[in-house]
Structure formats: structure tokens, C-alpha cells
Amino acid sequence: MNKVAMIGAGSWGTALALLLARTGCPVALWDRDEDHIGQLARERENKRYQPGHPFPETLTVTGSLAEAVAGAECVVMVVPSHGYRAVYREVLPLLREGALVVSAVKGIEIDSGMTMTQIMRAEGDDSKHLHLGVLSGPSFAAEVADRQPTAVTVAFADPQVAETVQHLFSTDYFRVYTSGDVIGLEISAAMKNVIAIAAGICDGLNYGLNTRAALITRGLAEIARLGVAMGGEPQTFAGLGGLGDLVLTCTGNLSRNRTVGLKLGSGLTLEQALSEMQMVAEGVKTTQSCYALAADLQVEMPILEQVYQVLYHNKRCEDAVIELFQRDLKQEAEALSR
């Protein structure tokens, strides 16, 4: 591939840019923050988000979207979900015909309830014949930058395009699988952050491994219910982008969303928890969008509902757990399908 544009120079965008540039692929890394881009250009390293990883010669940095996207066969969007639409509107007219656009963002837009590929289709220009897909899976950015063995999934409607992106990103430490279930992968990616906040709350309350196992299992059931209601395929939720990413985010110390939950469970308010964090925890905003989406689709999601009440209605964490356990008793098969 002659060039890849990486739109977003945060932790994940930088890790993916390093991944590709280390293979010899030319990568243009863009960010709106001029001071940040200036620092990257001078130091040839992202000391804010990925310290200790010098940029290869094939990695360039720019504050100009036009310069970043010009000539790029593949554009990877790695900006927060709440700003995705605005940035994509700027990117769209710059895209070449037939370009591959990969969302590496794990969230859902609050106002519309749309995933990132849905936003791109809504904003899209049919005359460009763009290929829109998603990359997701259990992948902490710091470990990818450190070349830790990692496996993820890319999903596109066109299997040949999926294979092209698969080969683009695959290395001897980064294994990529393909899927045709774009929406299922996106719902998994977004919702696992909400469940990770719940997992962090339980850890902050000093609950044990029994609690965590129950939460992950029941959280997966909720993710699958919402995903299938959105048109996703059931098997997706048992894969890397579903169960794999959920386990990682609910148990890993590098999880921003679990960290938010830990702080809430230990007694901090949401405002206090977020003020202590440098990077965005997508699950906080995603809780709002998924809560509204579940209501619109009439999907029962009790863990999501309790996280929403804790985040936005100051419900005590202990009370949220009690309410979950006081719900009507059910057969497990029934609980998995409703």
C-alpha cells in the first residue's frame, strides 16, 4: 500500500501508526492539536501517550488533514466517538475514489445512536465508492506499541476488502482475523466499555472473582442481545471483538473504563474520577448512547441500566449491585435471550 493516513494521534492512533510504519508502510499521522503535532515532529516520539517508541522514518506527522489524506489508499479513523462526525465531514471530500476507511473507534454517537460506520454512511458520498469497515479486538495500545502478541478482527461487507486490510495490518506479533459482521463488531466494541465500568465498580467495592465472572458472563449476554437486535451475528459476540475484548477490558489494569469504575466504587464522583484521568474513557459517553438505544429497541439490559444510574443519577454503587441481585429469578436460557 502506497500510503495510510492515521487520523488521531492519541495512544491508539500512535500505536497503530507505529505498527504499520515498522513494516515499511508510509504512514501520515494527523492530529488537530497543533502543539501536540509540533512536539511529535520535533521529538519524533509521542512522549505523552507512547513514550519510548521512536518514530520510524516511514512515519510522518502533520496538522493538515489535506496533507495527511492526500494519496492515501487507506484512512484509519482514531478520534473520540463524540467528535467523529465532525472530523469525518472534513475528511470525506479529501478521500480518493475507492478508498478504504477503517474505524478503530469503540463508541456510539450520543445524539443519533449511530455506530461510526453508520455515521460515515449517513455522511457519505456514494460517488466515491468508499469501503467502510472496522478494526477491533482485545488490544491495549501500550502493548501493541511494545510488540506484545495481539489478535484482532477487521470487518467489512466485502470479504476481499477485509482480506486487504487483514494483510495490511498483520505482522509477526499482530494477527488479524476477518469478518463480515461490521455492526456486531462495533456494538461489541462500544458496549464492552460500559461493562468494564461495572467491573471496575465491583473491584472498587472489593468484591471478589465470583462477582467478576458473573458480571462478565451476564455482560456478554447483554452485549449480544443489543448486537443481534441491531442486526449483528450471534457468533461475533463469542469472538475476539466480543468476549475477547470484554475480558481484557474488564480485567486489565490498563483499561481506562475499568479505572473509572474503580474510582467510582472507591467513593469518588464521576467528575472527580474523570478529572484524575489524562485519556478519554469512551464508556462514560457510550453508556448514555447505549441506554437510549436499548430503550428504543426495547432490549433488556439491567447492567447497562445500573451503570447509567450510577454515572448520571448519582446512584450509590452498592445500591446498584443490590438491585441487580433482587431482580426476578429466571432460567439461564431465558436470561440469555431477553
**For residue range 218-248, what is the model confidence (pLDDT) as tens digits?**
999 999 999 999 999 999 999 999 999 999 9
Please report the pLDDT score of residue 57 as a whole number.
Answer: 97
| Shared domain check, 161 and 310 | no
Please report the pLDDT score of residue 119 as a whole number.
Answer: 97
Tell whether the model's pLDDT for residue 143 goes beyond 60.
Answer: yes
Edge-to-edge strand ranges of the sheet holding 131-136: 59-62, 27-30, 4-7, 74-77, 100-103, 131-136, 150-156, 174-179
Determine the structural domain holding residue 217 and report its residue range.
183-337
| Shared domain check, 189 and 138 | no
Count of domains forming the chain = 2
| Shared domain check, 47 and 27 | yes
Q: Could you write out the DSSP letters of every residue in 27-71?
A: EEEE-S-HHHHHHHHHHSSBTTTBTT-PPPTTEEEES-HHHHHTT
Backbone phi and psi for residue 301, each to the nearest 5 degrees, phi listed first: -140, 80
pLDDT tens digits along 61-74: 999 999 999 999 99
Query: Which cell numbers in the block locate residue 75?
Result: 484512512
Query: Which cell numbers in the block locate residue 335?
Result: 436470561
Q: Tell me, yes or no, if 192 is annotated catalytic.
A: yes
| Shared domain check, 190 and 138 | no
pLDDT tens digits along 191-214: 999 999 999 999 999 999 999 999
Please report the pLDDT score of residue 198 as a whole number.
Answer: 97
SS3 letters for 112-148?
A: CCCCHHHHHHHHCCHHHCCEEEEEECCCCHHHHHCCC
| Shared domain check, 39 and 143 | yes
pLDDT band at 331 (very low <50, low <70, confident <90, very high): confident
| Shared domain check, 205 and 82 | no
Last residue of a domain, one of 180, 202, 233: 180
Please report the pLDDT score of residue 334 as a whole number.
Answer: 64
Which of the residues 3, 106, 192, 285 is marked catalytic?
A: 192
Last residue of a domain, one of 161, 180, 199: 180
Paired residues of 333 in beta bridges: none
Q: Are 29 and 67 in contact (CB under 8 A)?
A: no
pLDDT tens digits along 258-282: 999 999 999 999 999 999 887 777 8
CATH number at residue 289: 1.10.1040.10
Paired residues of 172 in beta bridges: none
Chain centre distance of CA 17 = 16
